[in-house]
Amino acid sequence: MATGADLCACFDPRAGAGAWWRLGSAAFLAVNAMVLGLAVNGSEVTAAERFALEAATGCISAGIAMLLGGELVGAAWREMRARRMSLEILFLAGIAASFTASLLSLFRGIGGTYFDVAGLLLLIYSLGREVGRYGQQRVLSQLAVPVGGGAVRVGDRIQVLPGEPVPADGRILRGVALVQDRNLTGESFARPMGAGDFVKAGSFPIDASIWMEATASSAGSEIEQVRALIADRLLRPGRSLEFAQRMLRWFIPTVTAATVATFLWHWQANPWPVALSHAMSVLVISCPCALGFAAPLTVWSAIARLRQTGILCRSGEALERLAEVDTVVFDKTGTLSAPEAYAAALDLEMEWAAQQPLFLRLLATAERASAHPIARAMAPLWDGVEPALLESIKLLPGRGLAATVVDRDLTYKLVIALDADESRHAIAVTIDGRRAATVYLDETLRPALGETIDSLTADRLQLVLATGDGAARAALVPIADQYSRQSPREKLALIDDLNGRGRLVLFLGDGLNDGPAMAASHVGMTVPTASPAIQEVASLLNLNADWRALPVALRIARQAVAALHRNIAVALTYNLVGMAVAATGWLNPVTAALLMTVSSITVILMALNVLNIEVAGEDRVLVD
């Protein structure tokens, strides 16, 4: 069995081209088979013409079987050997029955033929399988994107330029730079790194080049291990598949037994075409058309309703899982906070305390001339301040910058660099060799976060914070249950522990380091600034990154799923009652089809009511 690592390494986006070509060809043949079927049943034809048209339809459907039938037969055979009832067995039984009955009718010259139905069933099955496979491979292809530099072997020496991703785990040989690895560790701020420091694949230097020696190959890097963890979790069967298997265990035998019993019962007193007609009535009325409308229409109405609150839901399964959650696990950096740091406090030394306007003017002059991350972080301090004259500026790799500024014929030499004290994220500003001020950096929490947490707590949800940040910055988030300095594996272990205790977890994250935990959770949600791989893994996207929409979305999902279950119950009851009536011979296939149409319209109206769901708290999200 292939592992997630194998799939990440071996995925080829061209692999499915042949399958889509076969599907396109089969769809063309299926349309022609349907046209011939209409010609036979909708017009006056002679016996010879009927035979020719029906034989042609049979040949076309046989061509569809040659194009698509191999996978269905193989899958059905594996399920039968495992003694499992599955969708493949249901499709194969229906297709085989349609072909057999059609061949009997064709060569005996009595009764109808259903070659076109058999071809259409095979096309529907194959299309569904290929769409599902495409969705899975789309996720894996995102995870398999190289981090840069092509293939790297252990011992290779590589120069990494500013802004380029590090291609493999390794140690820095020479050079000093600020290195950002937020996407891997969850750490908010870039860190200065130099000779001897370990850098991870996927991180990148910001302000200077570094020379490094690879200590692992590209495939063996930590980022590839994280991707493999994500892929392995995504490939595990979900609860919805297990539920479908349980349904099929009784639904398939029930329909099969009812159809066969109806045919045998009526065959005792009627010609076999009459018995076959009654049996076909049972099949038509038992066809889960109403179920097919009940689920997707209710789901898509609910998804449209969620979109009004700013939450994009990508599937009906995600909607149902969202309604079931009882625990919410938050990442912090980039999820509950803005991705960029900002200057939270300015602490001027005594000799500059009375000269703050001059200090800000000197700071503004130096920082406006630079696109350095430190300059962006301190922009709120000098915003609107008129600059002085900049004489020179120099980058200090891995630290900050140095500048010479002239103000009113006086020359000042500034050094703006990361503070040597790493207990807090701070910037030290020295002027003419003496410290003038310390600027403390912090993060901006998302709007109304406290209100969101209060609302979720009132709804009796367990809240957990799992972040790569240290305990001090984690404490800024008003969630009692906190886990700090969490690696990707530790976050995954936390989710596995919650799963083992029967909790249904909604994980909110934005970085690749959140991927394994998100894939292992009951359902995942992210924000638009998340990495592409995480946007593929997450089933829900908070388009505005306003978490006040979260409790509203949970309430909508719960009400929508309750409506979904009601609609399915109504549709299923209708099918069972209809099968019983059809088995008595009171319905012909045409009447059965009309009754199925009535039930479908009823389910449509019930599903559309989901668009009118109203929940508490939504007005604040929409107005603000």
Q: Give domain status of residue 262, yes or no.
A: no
Same domain? For 535 and 494 the reply is yes
Length of the chain: 624
246 is written with which tokens? 């349980």
The reported pLDDT for the residue numbered 501 is: 95
Q: Which residue from 330, 291, 309 is spatially nearest to 556, judged by alpha carbons? A: 309
8 A C-beta contact, residue 346 and residue 429: no
- The domain of 77 spans 4-144
Q: How many CA atoms lie within 13 A of 111 on its CB side?
A: 23
Are 325 and 346 members of one domain?
no
57 found inside a domain: yes
Same-domain pairing of 77 and 131: yes
Instruction: Please report the pLDDT score of residue 481 as a whole number.
Output: 94
Residue 623 lies inside a defined structural domain of this protein: no
Of the pLDDT bands very low, low, confident and very high (cuts 50, 70, 90), residue 376 is confident
Check pLDDT > 90 for residue 252. Answer: no
Provide the residue type at 352 as one letter.
Answer: W
Give the pLDDT score at 259: 82
295 found inside a domain: no
Q: 317 with 240: CB under 8 angstroms?
A: yes
Q: Are residues 350 and 491 in the same domain?
A: no
Of 219, 232, 201, the C-alpha closest to 515 is 232
The rounded percent of the chain whose pLDDT value lies above 90 is 11
End residue of a domain, out of 424, 445, 466: 445
Considering its fold, how many domains does the chain have in total?
4
CA–CA separation, 181 and 192 (whole Å): 11
Query: In the numeric block, which tokens belong to residue 484?
Result: 């700090």
Which string of DSSP letters, residue by residue, matches 545-570? --TTHHHHHHHHHHHHHHHHHHHHHH
477 occurs within a structural domain: yes
CA distances from 278 to 109, 265, 364, 526 (A): 19, 10, 87, 53
* CATH number of the domain within which 216 lies: 2.70.150.10
Can you tell me which residue has the tokens 């994107």? 145
- What are the C-alpha distances in Å from 479 to residues 337, 450, 483? 14, 9, 10
Q: Which tens digits make up the pLDDT trace of 111-142?
A: 667 677 677 767 767 776 676 566 556 545 54
* Closest to 248 (Cα-Cα) out of 294, 288, 282, 280: 288
Say if residue 344 is in the same domain as residue 400: yes
72 CB-side CA count, 13 A? 26
Note whether residue 597 is domain-resident.
no
At 50, the amino acid letter reads R
Higher pLDDT, 595 or 346: 346
What whole-number distance in Å separates Cα of residue 508 and Cα of residue 590? 51
Q: Which of 115, 144, 173 is the last residue of a domain?
A: 144
Amino acid 78 reads R
Please give the pLDDT value at position 621.
59
Q: What is the CATH number of the domain that holds 459?
A: 3.40.50.1000
Give the end of a domain, one of 483, 510, 545: 545
pLDDT band at 410 (very low <50, low <70, confident <90, very high): confident
Predicted confidence band of residue 354 (pLDDT cuts 50, 70, 90): confident
Residues 6+ apart with CB under 8 A from 251: none
Arithmetic mean of pLDDT, 192-218: 83
Closest CA to 309 of 568, 39, 559: 559
CA 117, distance to chain mean position in Å, is: 35
Q: Which residue did the predictor score with more confidence, 481 or 442?
A: 481
> How high is the pLDDT of residue 482?
94
CA dist 589 and 32 (Å) reads 23
**Domain assignment present for 236:** no
Q: Same domain for 470 and 433?
A: no
Count of alpha carbons within 13 angstroms of residue 409, beta-carbon side: 0
With 0-12 CB in 10 A as exposed, 13-18 as middle and 19+ as buried, what is 205?
buried
Q: Which amino acid, 386?
A: E
pLDDT at 145 exceeding the cut of 70:
no
C-alpha 1 chain-centroid distance: 24
- CA–CA dist 139, 515 (Å, integer): 12
How far is Cα of residue 416 from the mean position of the Cα atoms in its chain?
42
Q: Give residue 1's pLDDT.
A: 38
- CA dihedral of 479, 483, 487, 489, whole degrees rounded to 10: -100
pLDDT of residue 522: 92
- If asked whether residues 514 and 464 sit together in one domain, one would say yes
Is residue 362's pLDDT more than 80?
A: yes
Kindly give the pairing relationship between strand 210-214 and strand 389-396: unpaired
**Whether 440 and 343 share a structural domain:** yes
The answer to whether residue 566 sits within a structural domain is: no
Beta-sheet strand order (sheet of 337-348): 337-348, 434-445, 426-431, 410-418, 400-407, 389-396
Q: Do 41 and 182 sit in the same domain of this protein?
A: no
**Terminal CA-CA length for the chain:** 50
For residue range 338-353, list pLDDT tens digits in order: 766 666 678 898 889 8
CA distances from 371 to 187, 353, 418 (A): 21, 27, 16
CATH code for position 350: 3.40.1110.10
Residues 384 and 488 both lie in one domain: no
Question: What's the Cα-to-Cα distance from 112 to each of 101, 187, 260, 287, 292, rounded to whole Å?
Answer: 8, 69, 18, 19, 26
Per-residue confidence (pLDDT) for residue 494, from 0 to 100: 95
> Do 325 and 361 sit in the same domain of this protein?
no
* Same domain flag for 435 and 469: no
pLDDT for position 190: 74
Alpha-carbon dihedral sign for residues 236, 237, 239, 242? negative
- Name the CA dihedral angle for 307, 310, 311, 313, rounded to a multiple of 10 degrees: 30
Per-residue pLDDT tens over the stretch 64-114: 888 888 888 888 888 788 777 666 776 677 677 668 777 877 887 776 676
Residue 276: Cβ-neighbour burial (10 angstroms; 0-12, 13-18, 19+): buried
